[in-house]
Structure 1
Amino acid sequence: MSQNLLLLVLSSAVLIALFSVKRIPEGTVYTLRRFNGQARTLQPGTHLIWPLLERVVHRISLTGHVLPLDELFPLHSGSARLSGKIYWQVLDAARADALIDRADELIRARALNAARAVDNPAEETTEARNSRLKAALNDSLRDVGIVVTRVQIALA
């Protein structure tokens, strides 16, 4: 009986030791949360965690993300289709952690609001529209740790 108990304790200790080593790949940041709500961010590399107290909440990729955009856009003379892509990436994972699950929706909504800010968007050139949208998005997303690297949107 004591050998079985010893084997159980040793195997449990080995499992806990294996689960407490976390390898984070390059270009990725993990956010861990404890049961008491405390959070911490792990940069790429090998880290020790508390396997029963902490859990991985987000795996945030620091490499580029692509947001396809295909929306019906109202104009003074009817409507047109606003379509293209918005390229973005996370600069500060600690600030972006709170909204990373809904980052695409946030960027989409802010891009549409910025596109509506022009009185007659049909007269604006594509290059001017893209640079204006990129600047407006970066101004509004700077505080949340996200940067827009490129905007390729056409109004058709």
Structure 2
Amino acid sequence: MTTFLLATIACLAVTASVVKRVPEGQVYSLYRGGRLLRLLQPGLHVVLPGLQRIGHRIDLSGQVLHFQEALKCAHDVRGTVYWQVLEPERADAVIDQVEQLIRSGALDALEAEPAVAKENRRDLGSRLKQRLNAALRERGMMVTRVELEVA
């Protein structure tokens, strides 16, 4: 009886490691031999352990990045950038660095701007969004909104 129980548990463990469930609103990248094989859409999928591995779990819903930095012009800037993945196959290569890309792009754009008046925050946010989108669109991502506070 114990042999049957151990065999059943082993069979269940193997099945659990082979079958992957991708939740709604996400995409998983499947790698084989270090190369992207395909993207797994929401649902159940069979993944061969040892041969294939899940690389990234990409959330397709909106993401939020908060930042607070002191600029060279002696202004403290706090902001929130709302972004999302539009093309997961393109975004997969840089998804681990996307927050750093957005943060550095926002700071570079803010440093290039002249002194920021409080009444021009909306215009500055719009220009910042356009500059970020110019860099992110080719990578399959888009900034949907930028909110800034300048102290």
Name 2:93's counterpart in structure 1. Answer: 98
> Which residues of structure 2 form unaligned runs of 5+?
none
Query: Equivalents in 2 of 1:15, 1:64: separation in Å?
Result: 34
For the aligned residues, what is the CA RMSD? 2.2
Q: Normalization by structure 2: what TM-score?
A: 0.86
Query: Equivalents in 2 of 1:149, 1:116: separation in Å?
Result: 21
The structure that has the greater radius of gyration is 1
Aligned residues: 148
Equivalent position SS for 1:120: coil
Q: Could you tell me how far 1:110 is from its partner in structure 2?
A: 0.6
Identity within the alignment, %: 44
Q: Could you tell me how far 1:72 is from its partner in structure 2?
A: 0.2
CA-to-aligned-CA distance 1:67-121 (integer Å, 9 cap, x gap):
111000122xxx0101120111111111111111121111000111112222333
Name 1:111's counterpart in structure 2. Answer: 106
Q: Could you tell me how far 1:135 is from its partner in structure 2?
A: 0.8
**Which residue type is aligned with residue 100 of structure 2?**
E
Q: Normalization by structure 1: what TM-score?
A: 0.84
Name 1:38's counterpart in structure 2. Answer: 35
Query: Equivalents in 1 of 2:57, 2:27: separation in Å?
Result: 6
Q: Which moved more, 1:131-140 or 1:95-104?
A: 95-104
> Which residues of structure 1 form unaligned runs of 5+?
none
Alignment of 1:69-148 (within 5 A): 69-75=67-73, 79-122=74-117, 125-148=120-143
